[in-house]
């Protein structure tokens, strides 16, 4: 009789243990399946420069190698859509991207601000003209970043919050473009040009970080991840240098930059 009671008690205990384990595992599984993810932003989020473009995205140049697509493929959220578009500004996010959001959206990512500050035209000026002209262009861009961009970033983040009140909003920054420690042996722009362009990236990231903090959102800094994988790092670079065959891809992350630069940083804060 005692032996049978022990056997029954052990069986009950085993069943209860299994039930508790199953119940404990349920919230994690439910949380994973409950993620509704929307990617917004500009070319650094669409994946311009990373190849393997999705034909239906047209001139937005969304790539299957972009960090939003890669993260979604790895984490299987309940829903995922990317409306990130090459060339997008903060006003484009407000006018044509936030409509992809809803109260059910739980995760939003974006890179934005570089086009507002005239990133493309500044880089073009630095490539085609003298150092003094480049420095003047960078100075003008930095002035815009400090005086006008903060309000634009705040407006964009506030509109995102209004359309996705329950979402975690992750604003990802931009990498520095050059490894200055290798500049002496790296053909192309002068070290002065490269130094100023890196400083401009820092200023842009600083404005983005401040906007994220001000709006209760998350800023994800990619500069450390890209360190020693910038232009001038040869085959180890995760950024496209000037490409005369694909000018628009110049100074954008390669497929490796999206996979090893952006995706791990986003994954570390996405939850």
The residue among 109, 113, 107 whose CA lies nearest residue 92 is: 113
79-82 and 168-172 beta bridge pairing:
unpaired
Phi-psi label, residue 5: left if phi above 0, alpha if psi -120 to 50, beta otherwise? alpha
In a 10 Å sphere around its CB, with 0-12 CB exposed, 13-18 middle and 19+ buried, how is residue 21 labelled?
exposed
Structure tokens at 70: 């890669």
Is residue 228 annotated as part of the catalytic site, yes or no? no
Structure tokens at 260: 């090893």
Structure tokens at 18: 């299994």
Q: Strand order in 36-39's β-sheet?
A: 79-82, 36-39, 107-110, 168-172, 218-220
Pick the catalytic residue: 43, 57, 109, 250?
Answer: 43
Pick the catalytic residue: 99, 102, 252, 268?
Answer: 252
Is residue 43 annotated as part of the catalytic site, yes or no? yes
Return d(Cα 15, Cα 11) in angstroms, integer. 6
Residue with tokens 């983040």, as numbered in its chain: 157
DSSP letters of 104-162?
T--EEEE--STTTTTHHHHHHHHHHS-HHHHHHHHHHHHHHHHHTHHHHHHHHHHHHHH
Active site residue ranges? 43, 252
């Amino acid at each position: 009789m005692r032996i049978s009671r022990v056997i029954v008690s052990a069986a009950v205990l085993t069943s209860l243990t299994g039930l508790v384990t199953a119940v404990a595992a349920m919230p994690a599984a439910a949380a994973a399946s409950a993620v509704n993810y929307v990617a917004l932003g500009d070319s650094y989020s669409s994946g311009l420069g990373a190849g393997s473009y999705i034909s239906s995205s047209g001139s937005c140049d969304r790539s299957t190698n972009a960090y939003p697509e890669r993260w979604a493929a790895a984490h299987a959220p309940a829903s995922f859509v990317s409306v990130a578009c090459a060339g997008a500004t903060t006003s484009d996010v407000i006018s044509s991207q936030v409509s992809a959001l809803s109260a059910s959206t739980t995760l939003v990512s974006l890179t934005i601000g570089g086009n507002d500050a005239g990133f493309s035209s500044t880089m073009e000026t630095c490539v085609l003209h003298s150092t003094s002209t480049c420095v003047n262009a960078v100075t003008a861009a930095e002035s815009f970043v400090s005086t006008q961009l903060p309000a634009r970033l705040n407006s964009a983040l506030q509109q995102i919050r209004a359309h996705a009140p329950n979402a975690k909003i992750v604003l990802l920054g931009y990498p520095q473009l050059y490894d200055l420690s290798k500049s002496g042996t790296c053909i192309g722009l002068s070290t002065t040009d490269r130094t100023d362009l890196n400083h401009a990236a820092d200023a842009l990231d600083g404005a983005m970080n401040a906007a994220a903090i001000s709006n209760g959102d998350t800023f994800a800094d990619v500069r450390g991840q890209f360190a020693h994988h910038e232009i001038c790092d040869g085959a180890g670079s995760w950024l496209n240098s000037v490409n005369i065959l694909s000018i628009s891809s110049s100074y954008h992350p390669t497929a490796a930059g999206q996979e090893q630069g952006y995706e791990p940083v986003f994954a570390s804060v996405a939850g």
